[in-house]
Amino acid sequence: DAGITQSPRHKVTETGTPVTLRCHQTENHRYMYWYRQDPGHGLRLIHYSYGVKDTDKGEVSDGYSVSRSKTEDFLLTLESATSSQTSVYFCATFGQGMSSGANVLTFGAGSRLTVL
Amino acid sequence: AQSVTQLDSHVSVSEGTPVLLRCNYSSSYSPSLFWYVQHPNKGLQLLLKYTSAATLVKGINGFEAEFKKSETSFHLTKPSAHMSDAAEYFCVVSRISNQAGTALIFGKGTTLSVSS
């Protein structure tokens, strides 16, 4: 997980409140991603970014928005949280791996969100 | 269309015995295939990847996987399980060879339990 920091790591909120999750990277990777992980579903892509201010939707983007104002930060916002958005959220970057030197997808440690 | 099926949701082995985690894929193109591991409360870590070079791929921690085109399989194996191998394992197929996160399709995961 070195080089990718997610915050907060845990959050409990109420239905209808806005929530922002932050992903910070120190690897200077161009590509960044937000996934959600739910039991029985594996990981599903929410949104991704291919550069500063360049973002696009993934397969489960409804109810989520993102912003990337600088290379190192990628924010995921739930405008009005719902119970169906209770999940573990993972940020990832795509670029040269620290050990292999090849391009790899590297994940943060995750943010666990509970919406009551 | 690409898809990936992990045939077992849960595998239990004893320490010192072989590990076999099964993965079948469907792809219209020559796929890139990956195995990721996730330890509890951690992000995903790349174990190994296949990108059309050698069909037998060696990864970290003694794991390896064999690409069998005729069987459309990419099973993960390890000769002798350790307690530290207990984790969730994801088989992943990429629509294109550069592994950009937008093209990754995750299996639903296999939980490996290792008993002493």
Interface check for A31 against chain B (CB to CB < 8 A): the answer is yes
What does the pLDDT read at residue B6? 95
In this complex, the residue of A103, A106, A110 whose CB is nearest that of residue B98 is A103
Strands (DSSP E) contained in B1-116 are 3-6, 10-14, 19-21, 23-26, 32-38, 44-50, 56-58, 64-68, 73-78, 87-94, 104-106, 110-115
Give chain B positions within 8 Å (CB) of A42.
Answer: 90, 106-109
Q: Is the pLDDT of residue B20 over 50?
A: yes
Q: Which of A116, A69, A113 is nearest to A87 (CA)?
A: A113
If one counts every other C-beta atom within 10 angstroms of the C-beta of residue A69, the result is 10
- Pick the more confident residue, B45 or A101: B45
Give per-residue pLDDT as tens, A50-91: 889 999 898 899 999 999 999 999 999 999 999 999 999 999
pLDDT of the residue at A42: 82
- Percent of chain B's residues with pLDDT above 70: 91
Residue A6 tokens read as 């997610």
Name the amino acid, one letter, at A88: V
Percent of chain A with pLDDT over 90: 67
Q: Is the pLDDT of residue A95 over 90?
A: no
A17 and A116 Cβ atoms separated by less than 8 Å: no
Cβ atoms of residues A6 and A109 within 8 Å: yes
Rounded CA gap, A47 and A59, in Å? 8
What pLDDT sits at residue B15?
97
* Least confident among B8-12, B52-56, B78-82: B52-56
Which residues touch B15 (CB under 8 Å, ≥6 apart)? Answer: B81, B82, B83, B114, B115, B116
Contact (CB<8Å) B99/A103: yes
A30–B contact, CB cutoff 8 A? no
Considering only CA atoms, which of A57, A63, A56 is closest in space to residue A86?
Answer: A63
Flag if B43 and A109 touch (Cβ within 8 Å): yes
Instruction: Label residue B99 by pLDDT band (50, 70, 90).
Output: very low
Q: Identify the band that residue B11 occupies on the pLDDT scale cut at 50, 70 and 90.
A: very high
Q: Which amino acid is at B52?
A: S
Name every residue whose Cβ is closer than 8 Å to that of residue A33 and which is 6 or more positions away in sequence: A45, A47, A48, A49, A58, A91, A92, A93, A94, A105, B101, B102
pLDDT score of A102 more than 90: no
Give chain B positions within 8 Å (CB) of A54: none
More confident residue, A97 or B5: B5
Residue B36: name the closest of A62, A88, A104, A99 by CA: A104
